[in-house]
């Protein structure tokens, strides 16, 4: 990290039962499951050793993210936690709880999003609204801590979309940036963003990270 770089360490929350079941939880407020808690503690131990200079943690208000952030904050010596609703996962409204297969083939979610980013599922939000608020949340974290290291705890879809926008200015490329539960990615801003590492799960070797990563959590 150069003297003037701002660093964001990006973490997807620990595992939930919905992650295991392959259903979209989005804005639904699920807690971590037992393995998710173990994942968060393994990550916290690694960060306490490797990144004691983290000055702040920004987290989604959803329980699975806030639980993960709290476990990490305690390991770092009670680093302050800032809750930012902009870091919440994509809200699918009435379609939450459906499987990925139902969303893809029955509801044609991703097809509809690609055709019209302003379209929204019933009771949910549009891809445009989602992407805009997540990107703004990332920018708030960067602008609030110039030249410092900050941890962001969020969700699979939110992180993937933010990375696609920040690195390629194209939110439709989110599939390239899907992370596993409690994985770490690292962005340096000096001032433009550079991805230094992605989807690092070395700390989860003894705990497991639940197989292939998916958005929607």
* Residues known to be catalytic: 13, 89
CA nearest neighbour of 158 among 52, 58, 77: 58
Structural tokens at position 191: 């001032």
Q: In the sheet that 184-189 helps form, which strands lie side by side, from edge to edge?
A: 81-83, 54-59, 149-154, 6-12, 184-189, 193-200
Q: How far is 73 from 54, CA to CA, in rounded Å? A: 9
Question: Strand pairing partners for 197?
Answer: 186
Instruction: Decide if 126 contacts 90 (C-beta within 8 A).
Output: no
């Amino acid at each position: 990290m150069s003297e003037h770089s701002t660093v964001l360490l990006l973490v997807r929350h620990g595992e939930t039962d919905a992650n295991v079941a392959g259903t979209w939880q989005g804005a639904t407020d699920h807690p971590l499951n037992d393995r998710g808690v173990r994942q968060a503690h393994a990550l916290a131990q690694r960060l306490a050793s490797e990144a004691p200079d983290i000055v702040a943690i920004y987290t989604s208000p959803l329980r699975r993210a806030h639980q993960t952030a709290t476990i990490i904050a305690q390991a770092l010596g009670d680093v302050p936690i800032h809750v930012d609703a902009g870091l919440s996962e994509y809200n699918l409204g009435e379609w939450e709880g459906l499987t990925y297969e139902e969303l893809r083939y029955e509801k044609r979610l991703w097809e509809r999003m690609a055709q019209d980013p302003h379209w929204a599922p019933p009771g949910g939000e549009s891809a445009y609204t989602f992407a805009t608020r997540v990107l703004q949340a990332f920018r708030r974290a960067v602008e609030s801590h110039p030249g410092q290291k900050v941890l962001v705890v969020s969700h699979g879809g939110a992180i993937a979309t933010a990375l696609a926008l920040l690195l390629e200015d194209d939110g439709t490329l989110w599939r390239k940036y899907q992370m596993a539960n409690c994985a770490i990615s690292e962005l340096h801003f000096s001032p433009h963003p550079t991805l230094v590492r992605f989807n690092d799960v070395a700390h989860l070797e003894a705990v497991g990270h639940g197989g292939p990563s998916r958005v929607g959590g």
